[in-house]
Each structure stands twice: as C-alpha cells, then as structure tokens.
Amino acid sequence: MPKEIPLSTVSYFICGMVEYFMENADDTEERLKEIGYEVGIRMLEVYRFEREVHIPTLLYRVAFDLLPHVNNSDRRIEKSNTTDGTYIIMDMDGIFSRFMSVPQSWDAFCADSVVCGLLEAAFTASGHQADVVVFPRPTEKYPNRVVFQISCLK
C-alpha cells in the first residue's frame, strides 16, 4: 500500500497552484480540473481501481473507496430528481476549501475543482463520459461543505 502524503503538503501545493493560476490564467477552476484528471489517472493505477460498468456502483466506489485516499470526510450520494443522468456527491468537509481563502469577488470559486478532475478520470477509465462541477455549499454545521454535480453524458 502506498504511503500517504501529509494533508498539509498537498494543501500547500494546491494553494500555490491556485495563486499562480489566479495571476497567470483565465480559468483557474478548469486548470485545477485538468491537474486533478492527471492525478486521478495515477491514483486509479496506484490503488488498482477496477473498471465499473454500472454508474450507481461506480459512484459508490468512487465516493467510498477512492476519495477517502484524498480526504476522509462524510459523504452522501444522491440522484437528481430533476435531470436524468445527473448525480450529486456531497462532501461535508471539502479538502481544499478547508485551507484556502480567496478574494470576495471569487465567492463562487471552489479549489475542490481538483477533485472534479479525479472524478472525471474515474468515469473515463470505466468507459463513461461525465462532466463534473463543484459548488461550495457551506452550512452552519459544515462550513467547508462542497457539492459535486456529475452529469453523465451519452
């Protein structure tokens, strides 16, 4: 089993990337997502994540087998009531949101876009296409809560 990298090291690295992208790139979240995709591909290999054909099972395995290697927090999976092929993963303590503050004008920004890329890598590796976006949804009880919206593409 691979050794774990300290959370503070990963967070420091992500904070540095966000600062760099904010100064030098137009779409910081998209760039973080691309990096997350590359990291996700490596994680799938390292943790021997097997292809999953059924989307509900894939969601479960991603949320409760793969993501705990990144951040061990409470999660919940839901299927959208309004849109077919859309699923929600709620993470009660977003790993990167916990350590990052951004300017007030970036209130919709979410550094957990890195995890979006990781989720897309898992879907692609299983033969599915998905578009994943993340939204910060803090509550009084969970100030770092984030919601991943996964839209399965045909």
> Domains in the chain: how many in total?
1
**Is position 91 within any domain?**
yes
Helices (H), the chain: 7-24, 28-46, 55-61, 113-125
| CATH number of the domain bearing residue 114 | 3.30.1380.20
C-beta separation of 134 from 54 below 8 A: no
**Is position 13 within any domain?**
yes
Residue 55: the pLDDT is: 92
**Is position 136 within any domain?**
yes
**Is position 1 within any domain?**
no
Q: Whole-structure pTM over 0.95, yes or no?
A: no
Question: Is the confidence at residue 6, as pLDDT, over 90?
Answer: no
Containing domain of residue 20, as a range? Answer: 7-153
For range 107-120, the mean pLDDT: 84
For range 12-16, the mean pLDDT: 71
**Is position 2 within any domain?**
no
Question: Is the confidence at residue 44, as pLDDT, over 60?
Answer: yes
Integer Cα distance of 41 and 100 in angstroms: 25
**Is position 127 within any domain?**
yes
For range 103-129, the mean pLDDT: 85
